[in-house]
Homo-oligomer: A and B are copies of this chain.
């Protein structure tokens, strides 16, 4: 009696298993498994019966059992180092989503700097990680990349593309994007256009600058050296750069900042100096992080599909690792996703 009650109680809480469904549908568990996994070799009527049973019983497969049986679960590490929170949340969203889809455990690690990055990578490797995703600026650290290569750990970078044998990447065409933005400014009629650079240690900085220069060159405009100023991607550094630019006697009519944080800082500085945007000055950014739409006016910028990028990264990494496991040679891919020019309220023709 006592026993029976316990069993009943347990049954209530127990999830329905594949066996229950099989029983209800009058087939074997294997058939149910096939239906669930979309195996084509099941008669339509059988399939319907099974689906019916699944429906009424409210069956949903046990992930752990499946992982165990297929030996599928992977462990992937995601390292990041002080990104903007918009970048981070967008990235995490993509990672979480895709990881769930392809049954992958993701370990997210914040690194204070490259030193710390090296340490984390070593730890993860020791813990038996299957692959690693690097976001900038860690993705640009040759040191970290070399460590990964030497330990033969699969690796993929997000946001910057490294043309090296052992790392794949997911990024956008920074050069083309910067060029498109600059062309837009040119079309608007601007001729005196300034550029605020990002951190020198990130590839993206150079690529964007190159795109900027190319657009101007194509239009037959010389870039005055004084109009290309240093920045470090931070709001703070943008403030400094903007002050320098706006205090010039012959100040630019448009400023293209290497990311949205610095563009926002430029807007703030302009306002402080009672310069109207976009009436008296055009400002545009890059990345389309949340800050771009937070401030006023909203910033014209380049949208990076960060969530899709991180999903793609997980997907790619997973394929490479499985290929490796099956003895195949994993190919190195560099995926380039589409960026999108987003026009908002911070640009206008020159006064």
A-side residues, CB < 8 A to B, are: 9, 13, 15, 58, 60, 62-65, 67-68, 72-73, 84-86, 88-90, 92-93, 96-97, 100, 105-108, 110, 126-128, 234-236, 239, 261, 264-265, 268, 271-272, 274, 289-291, 294-296, 324-325, 327
Alpha-carbon distance between A235 and B299 when the two chains are bound, in angstroms: 14
> Which residues on B sit within 8 Å (CB–CB) of A265?
296
Contact between chains at B58 and A63 (CB < 8 Å)? no
Name the CB-closest residue of B to A65: B68
Choice from B60, B67, B96, B291 contacting A96 with Cβ under 8 Å:
B96
Alpha-carbon distance between A52 and B64 when the two chains are bound, in angstroms: 29
7 further contact pairs, Cβ within 8 A, besides A85-B86, A89-B92: A15-B128, A65-B68, A85-B85, A93-B110, A96-B106, A97-B108, A265-B296
> Which residues on B sit within 8 Å (CB–CB) of A9?
327
CB-CB under 8 A for A85 and B96, given A64-B67, A105-B63, A239-B296: no
Name the CB-closest residue of B to A103: B64
The smallest C-beta distance from A319 to any residue of chain B, in angstroms, reads 16
The smallest C-beta distance from A321 to any residue of chain B, in angstroms, reads 10
A89, A90, A261 pick with most chain B CB within 10 angstroms? A89
